[in-house]
Amino acid sequence: MTITYELGSSLYVNITNRCSNACTFCVRNKHDTVNGKDNLWLDREPTIDEIKTDFKRRDLSEYDAVVFCGYGEPMMRADVVIEIAKWLKKNHPDIKIRINTNGQANMIYKKDITPQLEGIIDCVSISLNAENAEKYQKLCKSEFGEEAYTGLLEFARLAKRHVPEVVLSVVDIMKPEEIEQCRKIAEDCGVTFRVREFIK
């Protein structure tokens, strides 16, 4: 079972294959891996002890960040993300911790969980994917319907109160005018905007 895996200069954490979206472009539809070596499909979800044991075999000084991002939405297990992040910050205070997310955690838990990220998460990167709710739902097929889009924007605004860096991101295959609309949306939310490379 692959719990932690290396990608670029960061160490990624794979804790669930579940997701509240079923994106048409999800890399899981095409590959078993994102780094060419580690299969990210899980037979079962790792326990907190198994995740800690997996971290202990790594030298965290070799990485510029730990990133919760697996073959699924890490915030489906927000309690596990929070407990592991607390443990990492206690034992490795200098390590940067990021969550790559679809931004639907507050809808999943039906409450605002962003205060729990304070002091333990350095960056939340939310996939915006589209310039409006209708297009988002067409692409991402959220179990929350078109409300997922307003929900993720609200999550970004709320997370900004507790997390030093909040990012709304899109991929570089969108049309320039669509990217500009997304940039404006991120500005209106008061968060950073990033155009990231599309992984085929």
Question: Which residues 6+ apart lie within 8 Å of 57 measured at CB?
Answer: none
- The C-alpha atoms of residue 13 and residue 46 are separated, in whole angstroms, by 11
Residue pair 194/182 in contact (Cβ under 8 Å)? The answer is no
Indicate the residue among 48 and 171 with the shorter CB distance to ligand SF4.
171
Assigned token pair, 118: 């304070």
- The C-alpha atoms of residue 95 and residue 65 are separated, in whole angstroms, by 6
**Shortest distance, position 104 Cβ to ligand SF4, whole Å:** 8
Binding to ligand SF4 by CB under 6 A, coded x per residue (else -) over 14-53, reads -----x-xxx--x-x-------------------------
Select from 4, 45, 72, 136 the one that contacts ligand SF4 (CB under 6 A).
72
Assigned token pair, 184: 């404006």
Residues within window 153-192 making contact with ligand SF4, judged by CB under 6 A: none
**Shortest distance, position 130 Cβ to ligand SF4, whole Å:** 12
List residues near ligand SF4 by CB under 6 A.
19, 21-23, 26, 28, 72-73, 102, 140
